[in-house]
Amino acid sequence: MPERMDAGMRFAGGRYEVTGELGRGGMGIVWRARDARIDRDVAIKQLHVPEGLPAAERRVLDERLRQEVRIAGRLSDPGVVTVHDVFTENGATFIVMELVDPVTLSDVVGPQRPMPPARVAELALRMLSALEAAHAAGIVHRDVKPGNIMISGNGVKLADFGIAQTVDDPRLTTTGALIGSPAFMAPERIRGHDATPASDLWSLGATLFFALEGWLPFDRQTTAATLHAVLNETPRMSRDHGAIGALVAGLLTTDPRARLTPDQARALLSDLPARAEPARGAMSGRSGSRRWWLIGAVPAAVVLFVAGLLLGRLLPVAGAPGGSPAPDGGNPLVAGPQQPTRTYGPGGDVEPFDMGEDNPCADTALEPGDRVTQQRFRPCDSAHDVEIYTSGDVFGGRSTSDVSYPGRRELTRFAEGMCGAHFATDKIDHPDKERALRYGAVIPTAQAWEAKRRTSLDGDSSNDEGSQIVHCYVRSADGTPLTTPVAAD
């Protein structure tokens, strides 16, 4: 098929009648076509491989694309653009897929047009569902970004699984080649590790940040500066976005083992309407120019041959080859020296437990049977055994909620993810925290949770009992007292 079509049009792949061009960009051309065999309108993406690739690597890339698109064609989820077919003709690769004509998230959101948190939460739930379907099939998308998310009155869909990596397939790419958009590429991928479901979740976090704030958190003027920002900078939100803001922070955790899982992400949003469908047109708000979503791949499959100098300066991510192993018996998705999660309240490991953000330091190791009262509080700039470094709840910052106890297993998973995410950041300011410190979570018992739920409904906080708050603590690895605050202000 020639790149410029005349009025006569023609068939491609023996069955697709090309009726016009929808758009073009750095990754190729998108044609509108009619499947003559089953009388259905489709979109056909004619792929271009990046310029400058040696012939052997071009063949490898083409083979990988065709294999992975075939697997992507088996995906069935409302949030995924359906792939119908893939074929090669006249030396070019073509992907046939569902014809959709919405705008992208990039078109809807901008510096003066951030998306309301409730809409971002709906978007997050749909994208989590789409990614889980792909990951269950052994597919990693590798390029989750605003330009690959289409929004219309009929819902939200994730596109461009054509460059997805099949987890179970042998590697077909050249060592050192990274495929994806730099501003949305997870840190461990820049460090040279394989794409994983966790790296897709990091990309989703960067995408949701953009939706909430209206600007790209890691995008810089050059590719090198963008990669440096991903590896070394922590973006700051302009305001408190509640549960969805906490979800974004948890997804943008540098260590993939500390990153939120889909289940933990849903726990953060559990008080929102389950699987809420976006109101028709609520997310659309089209911009002046309509940009065909498939051409959002202008930088979509940027092939970055990372220079040896850059790779030589990067440290291995924790849990990856050369990094520290996951703690025995702990949550393998949580980074660092995690301790067993404790419970507090009636029937719990620690009762009473009066610590919190107002009284973060005490002379207790929080072992089962400990009693933590105000007599054990200590100033954080003097000797203390334990320090609370963050506290929160599964409802995004509210201290009470008329929601039933989620269960110890789910609450523990949420707490471990939250505590691990905070521990992995510069919230814990210590030069050798992985070796020198231990951290853990303290969660309320079912009795404490329900007591808070019951007594908070009368509007009088003076008689409240129980708690729904999760606390994260840190102590020294060798049991010696801490003598200065560990948690950064």
CATH number at residue 193: 1.10.510.10
Least confident of 164-173, 237-246, 427-436: 164-173
Kindly tell me if the per-residue pLDDT of 4 is higher than 60: no
* Same domain, residue pair 172 and 41: no
Kindly tell me if the per-residue pLDDT of 164 is higher than 60: no
* The pLDDT of residue 168: 38
Q: Provide the percentage of residues in the chain whose pLDDT is more than 70.
A: 73
Kindly tell me if the per-residue pLDDT of 64 is higher than 50: yes
Asked whether residue 331 is domain-assigned, the answer is no
- For residues 294-313, average pLDDT: 27
* Same domain, residue pair 214 and 302: yes
Q: Provide the percentage of residues in the chain whose pLDDT is more than 90.
A: 24
* Same domain, residue pair 147 and 180: yes
Which residue, among 264, 261, 219, has the nearest Cα to 243 in the 3D structure? 264
* The pLDDT of residue 2: 44
Of 17-26, 364-373, 387-396, the range with the highest mean pLDDT is 364-373
* Same domain, residue pair 71 and 116: no
* The pLDDT of residue 360: 93
Give residues with Cβ within 8 angstroms of 157, minimum separation 6: 78, 79, 80, 81, 100, 102, 130, 149, 150
Asked whether residue 127 is domain-assigned, the answer is yes
* The pLDDT of residue 112: 78
Query: Using the 8-state DSSP alphabet, how is residue 320 labeled?
Result: S
* Same domain, residue pair 76 and 115: no
* Same domain, residue pair 138 and 54: no
Kindly tell me if the per-residue pLDDT of 294 is higher than 60: no
* The pLDDT of residue 179: 57
* The pLDDT of residue 52: 66
- Segment 208-249, tens digit of pLDDT: 999 999 999 999 888 888 898 999 888 888 887 888 988 999
* Same domain, residue pair 84 and 158: no
More confident residue, 350 or 61: 350
CATH number of domain containing 61: 3.30.200.20
* The pLDDT of residue 125: 93
Asked whether residue 185 is domain-assigned, the answer is yes
More confident residue, 489 or 369: 369
Kindly tell me if the per-residue pLDDT of 195 is higher than 50: yes
* The pLDDT of residue 27: 61
More confident residue, 56 or 3: 56
Asked whether residue 487 is domain-assigned, the answer is no
Structure confidence at residue 204 as a pLDDT band (50, 70, 90): very high
* Same domain, residue pair 155 and 250: yes
Tell me which H or E stretch contains 436. Answer: helix 433-436
Alpha carbons 231 and 202: distance in angstroms, whole number: 12
- Whole-number mean pLDDT of the chain? 75
Alpha carbons 403 and 401: distance in angstroms, whole number: 5
* Same domain, residue pair 460 and 370: yes
The count of C-alpha atoms lying within 13 angstroms of the C-alpha of 189, restricted to the half-sphere facing its C-beta, is 29
Give CA angle at 279 (273, 285), nearest 5°: 130
- For residues 109-123, average pLDDT: 88
* The pLDDT of residue 99: 84
Residue 352: asked if its preceding bond is cis (omega within 30°), the reply is yes
Which residue, among 451, 400, 390, has the nearest Cα to 421 in the 3D structure? 390
* The pLDDT of residue 478: 86
Kindly tell me if the per-residue pLDDT of 313 is higher than 70: no
* Same domain, residue pair 133 and 259: yes
Structure confidence at residue 25 as a pLDDT band (50, 70, 90): low
- For residues 346-350, average pLDDT: 91
Paired tokens of 463: 């008689």
Find out whether 12 and 85 touch, Cβ atoms under 8 Å. no
Question: Among all residues, which ones are annotated catalytic?
Answer: 143
* The pLDDT of residue 197: 93
Kindly tell me if the per-residue pLDDT of 486 is higher than 60: yes
Q: In the sheet where 470-476 sits, what is the strand order?
A: 342-344, 437-444, 470-476, 386-392, 361-362
Distance, CA of 294 to chain centre: 22
Which residue, among 468, 243, 246, has the nearest Cα to 356 in the 3D structure? 468
**Structural domain containing residue 55:** 11-98
Kindly tell me if the per-residue pLDDT of 311 is higher than 50: no
In angstroms and rounded to an integer, the radius of gyration of the C-alpha atoms of the chain is: 25
Structure confidence at residue 459 as a pLDDT band (50, 70, 90): low
- For residues 397-418, average pLDDT: 76
Kindly tell me if the per-residue pLDDT of 271 is higher than 80: no
pTM over 0.85: no
Structure confidence at residue 169 as a pLDDT band (50, 70, 90): very low
Kindly tell me if the per-residue pLDDT of 33 is higher than 60: yes
* Same domain, residue pair 85 and 117: no
Neighbouring CB atoms inside 10 A of 440's CB total 23
* Same domain, residue pair 209 and 287: yes
Domain boundary among 52, 74, 98: 98
* The pLDDT of residue 473: 93
Alpha carbons 411 and 404: distance in angstroms, whole number: 12
More confident residue, 317 or 251: 251
Kindly tell me if the per-residue pLDDT of 21 is higher than 80: yes
Indicate the number of domains in the chain. Answer: 3
